[in-house]
Structure 1
């Protein structure tokens, strides 16, 4: 389908991955264990509703000592060793950008060392150099669920204010070492998913605190303070460095025009908005302060915290978008609870496919902040079938095509969108379900959920489709 040229000539088409889901080599190069390495594959789990991110301290210790269970993110797709050949696939597709994360556990294996691990710095130097040599703009995420497990066991995760300094030091180390090569940085992946994946997001075990809900909000505050410090450092090093915050879009529709449903949707959405309100406006909005008061949450917020937040706001907003949500007071009044949307179809994991929801949420973010926006993730996870050396994934092409159409609507409305990163351009381990067989890629990787297979890469039908999208700058989708 050929359409008029809407995308700017310098638009960054590409894809995104995370270190913990692709690299493997868990015990190589001096890397320390991280939160993501604690998740075992559970073949009998209900993957449509699986939440693997509430862990006790004993469960963490058991995972560290377990010699029998299969922990998929310790293996990934072996990108640590295959990155050069894997990047060639992205180069062939014509990628303008590649978003990936740096694993905190490779740079500071325990999170609190005095000096960074040179082997980790060297690996990412090689990776970044290769990305640039292949004609792609690197977009680097500093933290994508890769918190050194020592931060959990010794400090109790981001709930501890000491971790502000530790994470700030890590972020500043990355900027000082790689800032001359990398212009775009996302400090923390999907900062608002703390309510869904608290252990992944903050490194806090449920039995390490007296009030887990309060601790989650304190942890996010500490992350935002550290992020503001990192913004300050970046702009001191080079005013052209661009530092962004990232939300997983959780925008909810009201079930109907019942004012109670409309207000429930508003409150649901505010639980994500408040974080970007703080990071773009520089202060806590009144509605979240009232929420804290209602629930008797007492956060440790210092005058110095307020000063650094006010003076070091973010440069751009990164969004991951996969689905939309709906809320219904008849089902629940809890701000997190959602209900099935009868107008939408789900993927096998219960995610409602809603391209128009992308137009809706981006319009809301733009109206709220007027900050440049990056689509940091967008994709369709499905059970792909390899036949005759390929996958006929027309369903993925259709999903991405319809979402890109909505991006065009946004651009026509004057929304500043500068990048589109399809999630998982090469198949990788699922963040939530630990499955390898929940596939997103344009490139099929021959591993199953137990890591069995040849590891060989195969091109899916969507590979050539996305190649043409990029070559025509979005005119042919």
Structure 2
């Protein structure tokens, strides 16, 4: 036994997180091909009243319309916040805050424009070289997600995304190019962003057009199986090419509470947790958990697998578990219980929690619970790579943003992180989501802001793109400089 850890380790990785499709822009520059996210059309959530619409889905009919007449629609992820041209300015701001790590993703379509090429796009590779060199200039470690809610649209059109096994080899080729090119520059990798979100939006997570499959749940798990294989092969490739690299899996972690002490409600909470943990169970343990046998049977799911798949999974286990945490769920035993178990935002609200502007329950203690459960289950390092508060920030006449609400949210979550570390959890680092304002994943809007840095741009792409430090910028700078002591 050793003494209780009183704070974060001296090498704790403080920073922020982004995704290529939400910040880069330059969708048609540098040899980049079109990706699935380039067809996420803006649908004004304020006009429809659906401000809590998390995922975007695209049907085959919509994709055809978007492709034929793109000028009739707004595609905010095509312009992002112009990180492609402003990465030096943005990384300098991250360095000013004291970032130890910057989570970003690589656009697959910037490296292989259609996903089918034999040779990668050198101009795309060179862009990320420059980004990583800029990070190194300030002593910032890149944490790179290889697939963050986008893939070449050609793979959707030709194969209907990850329901096809063809993508496994194509992703392995892509992964090998990345590891070979950036060995020595990138130490920390994540294969797929929030793998369990395939259960929420097939198009977002897997590039699958749901109207082109007979059973969307079957398709979600078939796509997940192929991503498991691709991820495992990528892990194996990384250990061959860049032995010092650390490869993680990632899920969206949502802590599940039973609505009552009724045994059936308690059991439903266990089942909901199992569906969430299924993904890291496979990636950390290297095999399918036994509890999924009954679930697949009851849901009529039969996966198409090949001999040797179990060996691939066993040989490609990850070094750490990364996860996002925004909220908790309440579950209860009812006819649609299992359908609700895999959803991002439960319709059952917790009376003890306040809600954000987007009706997301705010539950810092749930983070501590999740950290303890994840570490107890896997006994590998954990990395909280997304956490934050989306809000409609107000820019004052003197160009200030007083976002005490964001500071309060993050402060409370850091306090619970520290408590989890005292509990014995091995936590590698913390990257807040949207450290600079970016295009929203689900609604493709700009006005849902997460950042410490305000970007002057509205939902329709109007604005100067000026970067402005919010009050939270200076607060987070103090948090990092004191290693989480000054909150």
Sort the TM-score into its range (normalised by shorter chain). over 0.9
Question: 1:51 offset after TM fit, Å?
Answer: 4.8
| Matches of 2:81 and 2:101, distance apart in 1 | 20
Q: 2:264 aligns with which of 260, 266, 269?
A: 260
**Are the equivalent residues in 2 in contact too, given 1:396–1:462 (CA < 8 A)?**
yes
Question: 1:237 offset after TM fit, Å?
Answer: 1.7
**Are the equivalent residues in 1 in contact too, given 2:54–2:441 (CA < 8 A)?**
no
- Residue 54 of structure 1 corresponds to 57
Larger displacement relative to structure 2 (260-269 or 6-15): 260-269
SS of equivalent residue, structure 1 residue 132:
helix
Larger displacement relative to structure 2 (232-241 or 344-353): 232-241
**Are the equivalent residues in 1 in contact too, given 2:180–2:242 (CA < 8 A)?**
no
Larger displacement relative to structure 2 (255-264 or 334-343): 334-343
Question: 1:185 offset after TM fit, Å?
Answer: 0.1
Question: 1:243 offset after TM fit, Å?
Answer: 0.4
| 1:220 matched to 2:230 | no
SS of equivalent residue, structure 1 residue 321:
strand
- Residue 178 of structure 2 corresponds to 174
- Residue 441 of structure 1 corresponds to 451
Q: Call closer, same or farther: CA 1:366–1:177 in 2, change over 3 Å.
A: same
- Residue 160 of structure 1 corresponds to 164
| Matches of 1:330 and 1:299, distance apart in 2 | 27
Question: 1:435 offset after TM fit, Å?
Answer: 1.1
Question: 1:251 offset after TM fit, Å?
Answer: 2.1
| Matches of 2:389 and 2:308, distance apart in 1 | 43
**Are the equivalent residues in 2 in contact too, given 1:164–1:222 (CA < 8 A)?**
yes
Larger displacement relative to structure 2 (21-30 or 287-296): 287-296
Unaligned runs of 5+ in 1: none
| Matches of 1:344 and 1:88, distance apart in 2 | 37
Q: 1:85 aligns with which of 73, 84, 89?
A: 89
**Are the equivalent residues in 2 in contact too, given 1:165–1:226 (CA < 8 A)?**
yes
Q: Describe how 1:242-253 pairs up with structure 2 within 5 A.
A: 242-253=246-257
SS of equivalent residue, structure 1 residue 250:
strand
- Residue 421 of structure 1 corresponds to 431
**Are the equivalent residues in 1 in contact too, given 2:106–2:145 (CA < 8 A)?**
yes
- Residue 8 of structure 1 corresponds to 9
Q: TM-score, normalized by length of structure 2?
A: 0.95
Q: Describe how 1:336-347 pairs up with structure 2 within 5 A.
A: 336=340, 338=346, 339-347=348-356
Deviations 1:77-134 (A, max 9, x none): 0000000011111110011110000000100010111110111001001011111112
**Are the equivalent residues in 2 in contact too, given 1:199–1:205 (CA < 8 A)?**
yes
**Are the equivalent residues in 2 in contact too, given 1:264–1:329 (CA < 8 A)?**
yes
**Are the equivalent residues in 2 in contact too, given 1:277–1:283 (CA < 8 A)?**
yes
**Are the equivalent residues in 2 in contact too, given 1:5–1:474 (CA < 8 A)?**
no
Q: 1:130 aligns with which of 114, 127, 134?
A: 134
Question: 1:331 offset after TM fit, Å?
Answer: 8.1
- Residue 364 of structure 2 corresponds to 355
Q: 1:333 aligns with which of 325, 337, 354?
A: 337
Question: 1:330 offset after TM fit, Å?
Answer: 5.0
- Residue 32 of structure 1 corresponds to 33
Q: TM-score, normalized by length of structure 1?
A: 0.97
| Matches of 2:334 and 2:51, distance apart in 1 | 22
Deviations 1:216-272 (A, max 9, x none): 101000000010001111111232210000011122111111111111111111111
| 1:303 matched to 2:303 | no
| Matches of 1:301 and 1:284, distance apart in 2 | 12
| 1:376 matched to 2:385 | yes
**Are the equivalent residues in 2 in contact too, given 1:371–1:416 (CA < 8 A)?**
yes
| 1:148 matched to 2:152 | yes
| Matches of 1:340 and 1:290, distance apart in 2 | 29
Question: 1:39 offset after TM fit, Å?
Answer: 1.1
Question: 1:303 offset after TM fit, Å?
Answer: 2.5
Question: 1:56 offset after TM fit, Å?
Answer: 1.7
SS of equivalent residue, structure 2 residue 64:
helix
Unaligned runs of 5+ in 2: none
Deviations 1:417-444 (A, max 9, x none): 0110011111001001111010011110
**Are the equivalent residues in 2 in contact too, given 1:53–1:198 (CA < 8 A)?**
no
**Are the equivalent residues in 2 in contact too, given 1:5–1:475 (CA < 8 A)?**
no
| Matches of 2:291 and 2:378, distance apart in 1 | 17
Larger displacement relative to structure 2 (328-337 or 430-439): 328-337
SS of equivalent residue, structure 2 residue 56:
coil
Question: 1:399 offset after TM fit, Å?
Answer: 0.4
**Are the equivalent residues in 1 in contact too, given 2:101–2:142 (CA < 8 A)?**
yes
